Amino acid sequence: MDEPIDHEPSDETDPVLGAYRKSIDNIDAALIHMLAERFRITQAVGRHKARNALPAADPAREERQIARLRALAEQAELDPEFGEKFLRFIIEEVIRHHAQVRDH
């Protein structure tokens, strides 16, 4: 039985690859926990905004945050375009949640 030529080694057969993947898995887990905490806080912000009749979005703050995080991305040697896309996605979700809280 012939094995495919492009067969990728498993973590067991390539311990270096396995170590890298374990680190990636740990980072992914940390990202999920950090995002969960961030959304818990932004949900509290959404409730505060709803109670005080504040708008769900704050475009001026969003732009300041994007500029700040683009600069941080550059310092961290991360593509600032990717950092901005990621942050805009999060901001859109937060605004959607704030609007849902406001409308209920």
Give the tens place of pLDDT for each residue, 20-74. 999 999 999 999 999 999 999 999 999 999 899 999 889 999 999 999 999 999 9
In this prediction the pTM is 0.74
Question: For the CA atoms of 74, 76, 80, 85, what is the dihedral angle to 10 degrees?
Answer: -160
Q: Does domain 15-103 have CATH number 1.20.59.10?
A: yes
d(CA 66, CA 83): 8
For the chain, what is the mean pLDDT?
A: 89
Question: Domain ranges in the chain?
Answer: 15-103
Over the stretch 51-61, which tens digit does the pLDDT of each residue have?
999 998 899 99
